[in-house]
Amino acid sequence: MARPVSIRDEDILDAAREVFLAHGIRATSAMVAERARVSEGIIFRRFKTKEGLFRAALDVDLKTPPEVAELVERAGTGSVVENLHDTGVALASLLRVNIPLSMLALTNPDTQDSQQGHTRNRQTRESYFKLIEDYVREEVALGRLRAVAPDVFAFAYVGGIKDYVVGKIFRAPAPQQPSTPAFVRALLDLLLHGAHPQATTPPRR
């Protein structure tokens, strides 16, 4: 049964984002109407065209999760591993939405605001990248991390998480694929401890 006409625009846009993320530019207004449980007529009265709906759905200001936004403030407190782990899991959730929306905005030829969306998402990327870089720099200064290059660490860390998220979105599930928390923890173990075998104490004679 259809919802009353008093449905909020944001409820329709939430439904539209879910449909666009699932079906890309092949999504139709009928799919959105079905997901939002309204008639197509209501959608066209609110947004005029499918392209208008698309532009409105992509005009989303993704807030940086507190685990990422407050990372630098946690420098010198708690565990470096746990601080970065919490940040990585939250960042993966953000990228799970950010990456598809960015791709849709750039690949839809009818979306006049695609460049603005690309700029906004690039600014979001630069903000979380800089936060991680600044956090590593602070921990290095405090002696809780060795003197690594903060930007290289951030590139490796963010790049690993981003590729994991892209795989979750676009690739078929791999057998025994790790959960997001398990992957982030394994990535941190590799970044913080390397791949060299641990030194062993020679046996006593």
pLDDT, position 54: 76
Q: Do 23 and 116 have their domain in common?
A: no
pLDDT, position 100: 72
**Residue with the larger pLDDT of the pair 3 and 170:** 170
Q: Which domain holds residue 22?
A: 9-58
Flag whether pLDDT at 117 surpasses 90: no
pLDDT, position 114: 47
Tokens matching residue 163: 């590729």
Cβ pair 88, 191 in contact under 8 A: no
Q: Please list, residue by residue across 177-203, b when 16 or more beta carbons sit within 10 angstroms of its beta carbon and e when fewer do.
A: eeebeebbbebbeeeeeeeeeeeeeee
pLDDT, position 67: 93
Flag whether pLDDT at 132 surpasses 80: yes
Q: How far apart are CA 18 and CA 35, in angstroms?
A: 8
Mean pLDDT, range 101-128, rounded to an integer:
58
Q: Do 91 and 188 have their domain in common?
A: yes
pLDDT, position 120: 52
Model confidence pLDDT, tens digit, residues 11-55: 998 888 888 777 766 778 899 999 999 999 999 888 888 777 877
Q: Which SS3 state, helix, strand or coil, does residue 103 take?
A: helix
Mean pLDDT, range 141-168, rounded to an integer:
94
Cβ pair 98, 124 in contact under 8 A: yes
Which residues neighbour 200 within 8 Å (Cβ) at sequence distance 6 or greater?
Answer: none
198 within some domain: no
Q: How many domains does the chain have?
A: 2
Q: Do 35 and 78 have their domain in common?
A: no
Q: How far apart are CA 162 and CA 129, in angstroms?
A: 12
- pTM flag (> 0.75): no
Q: How far apart are CA 44 and CA 52, in angstroms?
A: 9
Model confidence at 76, in pLDDT bands (50, 70, 90)?
Answer: very high
Mean pLDDT, range 95-117, rounded to an integer:
63
Q: Do 49 and 87 have their domain in common?
A: no
